[in-house]
Amino acid sequence: MEITRELWGTAPDGKEIFRYTLRNAAGAYVQVASIGAAVVAACVPDRDGRLGDVVLGYRDPMSYFGDGPCAGKIPGRYANRIAKGRFTLDGKEYRLPVNNGPNHLHGGPDGFQNKVWESRIENDGVEFMYYSEDGEMGYPGALKAVARYDWSEENELRLTLTAECDAPTVVNLTNHTYFNLNGEGSGSVLGHELMLNASEYLPADESLIPTGDSEPVAGTPMDFVTAKPLGRDIDADFPALRYGKGYDSCWVIDGAGNGQLQPAAELYSPESGRLLEVLTTQPGVQIYTGNWLAGCPEGKSGKSYGDYDGVAIECQHFPDSPNRPDYPSTVLRPGEVFEEAVIFAFKVRK
């Protein structure tokens, strides 16, 4: 495994942004960068052995600051939505910035995804660290978050997420990479076939906050138990699809909750033959079909992406968990370690 580091740019606050390339013996590689601990490229073979970059991203590293899509990055302190930007912990209410309709999204406008993380090459991988001060974006307690990326000879990207705190807080970390298995900049992913290891999903209200218990996907457009094209049912007259202008919902991963890696999703492109298998220790997976990508910064291929040009497979805890004691807990206390893992395994189907 060859890992190289380069200075990629300088943030507005003067911090240096580094980009790392992890390349295996076959020449396949991923690139990760210290702005938001982001995955900014993944160059993997198609069924004919041709390498292509399957990750959406930007030419200019400055475009990663404050981008609406949150492309490739790790949002925090709490990924996804918290209703009305408030939650109660140990009897005290905390208020967070509202930045997505009536709700708080991805840790707020100055969340982890818009920070330059410290970085280093460590034991054949790349580690990023961000220290969040007590009270940052309204969250209680100081939090140290670490994201580690490892790339294998088998084209598997492993992300390990850990966090520790000095006072009770809440945390939900994920990765927000958009994939297009035909190659970034190649157009819509609605022809990609998705399979989810999830027989239930979380219905949500018009602002995409879960309304309560999970419900079976059977007989609904949310059913991906058997693989189907992303675009097959995306225009169906169904609440979740109307509210999100496409898929933007959280599914409950079957068999999750024991801390072990479970299959979460498989994404396949019949055109390129590329197959992405996603495994995780997390309880849920948010599927977002890039419904609002239009108008984003200029992409790597020289033009802005359009809606549905990529799909995000975000393994995470459930939205609004701090207000839902019946959901798996996202509370972290001093002396505890938040630790979750995601594996993105790139393969081909002949």
Phi, psi angles (nearest 5°) of residue 141 = 80, 150
CB 285 within 8 A of CB 253: yes
3-state class (DSSP) for residue 84: helix
For residue 325, what pLDDT is reported?
A: 96
Split into its structural domains, the chain has a count of 1
Q: How high does pLDDT run on average in the chain?
A: 97
259 pLDDT higher than 90: no
Confidence label for 332 from pLDDT (cuts 50, 70 and 90): very high
Domain that holds residue 159: 2-348
Rounded CA-CA distance 97/137 in Å is: 7
Catalytic residues: 176, 314
Instruction: Specify the pLDDT at position 330.
Output: 98
pLDDT tens column, 40-75: 999 999 999 999 999 999 999 999 999 999 999 999
For residue 258, the model assigns a pLDDT of 82
Residue 299's closest CA among 186, 174, 157, 176? 186
pLDDT tens digits for range 176-197: 999 999 999 999 999 999 999 9
Produce one character per residue of 290-315: b if its CB has 16 or more CB atoms within 10 Å, e if not: bebbeebbebbeeeebebbbbbbbbb
Please report the pLDDT score of residue 257 as a whole number. 79
Q: What is the DSSP letter of 136?
A: G
With residue 244 as reference, give the H or E element that holds it. Answer: helix 239-244
C-alpha span between 247 and 253 (Å, rounded): 16
pLDDT > 70 fraction of the chain, expressed in percent and rounded: 100
What is the distance, to the nearest Å, from the Cα of residue 279 to the centroid of all Cα atoms in its chain?
13
pLDDT of residue 112: 98
pLDDT at 285 (0 to 100): 98
CATH number assigned to the domain comprising residue 185: 2.70.98.10
Taking the alpha carbons at both ends of the chain, their separation in whole angstroms is 26
CB 260 within 8 Å of CB 173: no
Q: Tell me the whole-structure pTM to 2 decimals.
A: 0.98
Residue 319 in this model has a pLDDT that exceeds 90: yes
Q: Give me the pLDDT at residue 329, please.
A: 97
The pLDDT tens digits for 216-257 are 999 999 999 999 999 999 999 999 999 999 999 999 999 997
Q: Which pLDDT value is given to residue 350?
A: 83
Q: What is the rounded distance in angstroms from the CA atom of residue 202 to the CA atom of residue 212?
A: 7
The stretch 306-323 carries a mean pLDDT of: 98
